[in-house]
Structure 1
Amino acid sequence: MVRDDLYITVPSFFRCPISLDVMKSPVSLSTGVTYDRSSIQRWLDSGNNTCPATMQVLETKEFVPNANLHRLIQTWSSQNRYNPLDDSSASSAESASPLSPDKIQLVVKEIGGEEKESGRNCSFDDLSKIASFAEESSENRRFLAKMDGFVTMLAALIHSDDKDLSPPVVELAVRVLDSVSTEFGDFHELKRLLLIPKEKSPNSLPPSLLRVMKQGSRPESRIATVRIIQSIAIDAESKLAVAESDGLLLHLVNSIAPRTDLPLIDAVLSCLISISMPKRVKPQLVRLRAIGKLREVLRSPSVPAATAEKALKLLESVSSCREGMAELCGDSACVEAVVRKAMKVSDAATEVAVTILWTACYLFRDQKAADAVVRSNGLTRILLLMQSNCSPAVRQMSTDLLRIFRVNSKSCLSSYDTKTTHIMPF
């Protein structure tokens, strides 16, 4: 029996706060907020230590199954014949029923058939069954990753330009590939399967992969695409090939905005940090106004510590070229944002922030950047850092910065009492 999703109102507390989809395996954090297991696991695996909904720092990253809510969702889904694997197209509730490994192998074989490389035999229901199987456990994902030809089949679906293959099928293939890629482990093989040789196309990434990244119907699909792109950018050649795919850098930079889904921002920052390593990519990011985007992220009070740390790392990378340093020094608001993040984020963030300030003020001796540091009470912060248990590198750079500002008679250091033994924290 086919149903119409337009006639079903989903209770808001059935939806995951991250993916906004009906939860398949609800689990609760120590803050009491419930998320879908796969969504919150990816959030935590990305290095975050906060609750996405409340931004509270987590005392523990462990979560517990919310059995009562799970039963409510199952009862409601059964009554409404609702299939949580497909929020955008009509399908029967039975299409996502749990499958055994033996049945999964039969489904994969059926999808492949004699036209395995084309993916023409794949339907959304087939892939939904596989996706449901993969989301059940890490053991299932390992089983799929080690299955002969399975990852090759998913890559073929993503490459497919067959008009009979619907966009939801490709989008679901991307999500399944992302879920099993870590268990697959061979990223050199994944790169071989996904990247298009230069002699065949000027763009290294499959057009369908770029479409999912830009137009995916779910945030988790776009996040999965960004993670896949990062996973195949494993050496200098592939990083450059990925970065120079038409429109990729522009879309990634435009995705760095406080109003964007936070897990997506986090994934985009990780990807850009990876692919910005080649020297000729950095000026491109400067021209695309990446520094202005990073400034807004750093100034946003809702950005978690792990995301702020990644924003600082990307800013350090982009400003390491001449164009990037000039852009940074001319943006006093960005310099002030870096000063504010020099403390109370993380030890790694502190070191990156101080490195950025040291490069601009000490190495390049830029007066605009130095003035911005003074205006934002940066000298007091540097003094506080030197009194803290900072790393030797941070201590040395802080000492160099203080030497620079001591030269200026108008600096606040001229009135600093050297007998002071304690400075109140901010």
Structure 2
Amino acid sequence: MASYWRTPKPGRKIPFIKKSPVENPIMEPSIPTHFRCPISLDLMKDPVTVSTGITYDRHSIETWFEVGNQTCPVTNNVLKSEELIPNHSLRRMIQDWCVANRSLGIERIPTPRIPVTPIQVSELLSEIASASRRGDRARCRELVAKIKALGRESERNWRCIVSGGAGRVLSASFSELAAGSFDNSTSGVLEEILSALAACFPLDEEAHWHIGSPESLNSLVLILNCGDLAGRLNAVLMLKELVSSLDADRINVVADTDGLIEALVKLIEKPISPQTTKASLVTTFYLASSSEMTAVKFVEMGLVSLLLEILVDSDKSMCEKALAVLDGVLESKKGRETASDHSLAVPVLVKKMFRVSDMATGFAVSALWKLCKNYEQERGEGCLVEALQVGAFQKLLLLLQVGCTGTTKEKASELLKLLNGMRGRGECIETVDFKALKRPF
């Protein structure tokens, strides 16, 4: 096997050889030294031998290689390759020892599955590509299911599958099959491919090109509308992956796909799972932020009202995403007019300035600023007076005292100036509620 070495991955910790095991001889039997991995000093579950003849647990030595090491941890000799030879004899000895000590609470380690090889992955992907070109949906679905099964066996298998180019091959197969007639058999294989592709994120530019084809986008919309729960989730995850990597012009092409905006709004209006809703919101954010025309389409579909309803009672992550989308659609005049006419808009934005997250605070201030800054030309003084009545002035002062930076600070300061000019025309709700009470002093 040819030798190759990976560069260290950022954030990965380099494994080290422990000096001595910590044992409790009263609670458990002593593990024979040659059954322990020299790196982790734990009982080996999948012993493999490197070219120097030293045996390690597969997970430990593969982690050693992944961070860029090229030596044998014990001998410190440079290894000629990363080839790992399963040590079946030692593994059977370890299993026998586990069985012999079962009464002491030792569980028998299962026989490990043989990891998939790059050659096997290449052959499977080649068969998938060939089956999709022939239009053999049944065979393609069978092979994709096999790829998924291999990936589920271990994280290592998925890494091997992804590094073998699965994203490009599967996305090309999706595009080719999507070009044919759409029926139940097509829907089934396309949903199977989407399920496999979701484990290959992030996809490269070639894969994005295949998924961004008109045929693929039309099929994604059909799955969003007619697919099963898993299919709809994977379809919106694929759209999220696609639009988050494209420039504005290409996003506009995606947004022009017939029925796409309606399908996304439907998923937000009638949620099928929190993950699906969040992915739909992120996808909507990228689409609505790409052009005012697209934002207006979302507004006309009733998105502003849906977002405000989500913001009334939702978790931190959902709030952040809903505020981001609302801030995006308020770039359009139609979005600002719709939000100004909604009774929840200003109170909800003021409420979400605190106690969610810094990100939510930034979006809430930005959205309120967009509603108020053009009040003279668009909606009169209603938003400013309403903001004063629900305590925006006090909250913005507190926000600046607590500390905020960048554009959030600039917009909060500008909002305070606008509100200060209106303070004689509106009164904070807290003051109105208690002005009739007699003070005890």
TM-score normalised over the length of structure 2: 0.62
Greater relative contact order (Cα 8 A, min sep 6): structure 1 or 2? 1
Q: Is the 8 A contact 1:111 1:126 kept in 2?
A: yes
Distance 1:383 1:258 in 2: 38
Distance 2:392 2:215 in 1: 44
Report the equivalent of 1:168: 188
Is 1:194 aligned to 2:194, yes or no?
no
Report the equivalent of 1:157: 174
Per the alignment, in what secondary structure is the counterpart of residue 347 of structure 2? helix
Mean alpha-carbon deviation: is it higher for 210-219 or for 390-399?
A: 390-399
Distance 1:120 1:380, change over 3 A: same
Report the equivalent of 1:298: 311
How many angstroms does 1:334 deviate by?
Answer: 1.9
Residues 213-252 of structure 1, C-alpha deviations (whole Å, 9 max, x = no match): 2222234x32221122233330223211111111100110
Q: Is the 8 A contact 2:389 2:429 kept in 1?
A: no
Is 1:270 aligned to 2:285, yes or no?
no
* Equivalent residue in structure 1 for 2:292, among 274, 279, 290: 279
Report the equivalent of 1:347: 358
Q: Report the RMSD for the aligned CA atoms in angstroms.
A: 3.0
* Equivalent residue in structure 1 for 2:199, among 169, 179, 184: 179
> Any residues of structure 2 matched to 1:63-82 within 5 Å, and which?
none
> Any residues of structure 2 matched to 1:12-411 within 5 Å, and which?
100-101=116-117, 102-113=119-130, 116=133, 118-120=135-137, 122-148=139-165, 151-160=168-177, 161=180, 165-182=185-202, 185-186=203-204, 188-196=205-213, 203=214, 205-219=216-230, 221-233=231-243, 234-257=246-269, 259-276=271-288, 277-300=290-313, 303-365=314-376, 366=379, 367-408=381-422, 409-411=424-426
Per the alignment, in what secondary structure is the counterpart of residue 257 of structure 2? coil
Residues 190-220 of structure 1, C-alpha deviations (whole Å, 9 max, x = no match): 2321233xxxxxx56443322222222234x
Structure of higher CA gyration radius: 2
Q: Is the 8 A contact 2:352 2:360 kept in 1?
A: yes
Mean alpha-carbon deviation: is it higher for 405-414 or for 374-383?
A: 405-414
Q: Is the 8 A contact 1:204 1:241 kept in 2?
A: no
Per the alignment, in what secondary structure is the counterpart of residue 148 of structure 2? helix
Distance 1:190 1:104 in 2: 18
One-letter identity of the residue aligned with 2:189: V
Distance 1:311 1:164 in 2: 34
Residues 271-309 of structure 1, C-alpha deviations (whole Å, 9 max, x = no match): 111122123211111111111111111112xx2212211
Structure 2, gaps ≥5 residues long: 1-112, 432-441
One-letter identity of the residue aligned with 1:151: R
Distance 2:429 2:185 in 1: 71
Distance 1:321 1:394 in 2: 20
Q: Is the 8 A contact 1:405 1:411 kept in 2?
A: no
Per the alignment, in what secondary structure is the counterpart of residue 255 of structure 1? helix
Structure 1, gaps ≥5 residues long: 1-96, 197-202, 417-426
Distance 1:164 1:400 in 2: 56
TM-score normalised over the length of structure 1: 0.64
Q: Is the 8 A contact 1:341 1:353 kept in 2?
A: yes
How many angstroms does 1:347 deviate by?
Answer: 0.9
Mean alpha-carbon deviation: is it higher for 264-273 or for 122-131?
A: 122-131
Distance 1:194 1:299, change over 3 A: same
Distance 1:395 1:115 in 2: 54
- Percent of residue pairs identical: 21
One-letter identity of the residue aligned with 1:288: M
Residues 63-113 of structure 1, C-alpha deviations (whole Å, 9 max, x = no match): xxxxxxxxxxxxxxxxxxxxxxxxxxxxxxxxxx98733544444344344
Residues 173-197 of structure 1, C-alpha deviations (whole Å, 9 max, x = no match): 0111121131xx41x212321233x
Q: Is the 8 A contact 1:98 1:133 kept in 2?
A: no
Q: Is the 8 A contact 1:195 1:206 kept in 2?
A: yes
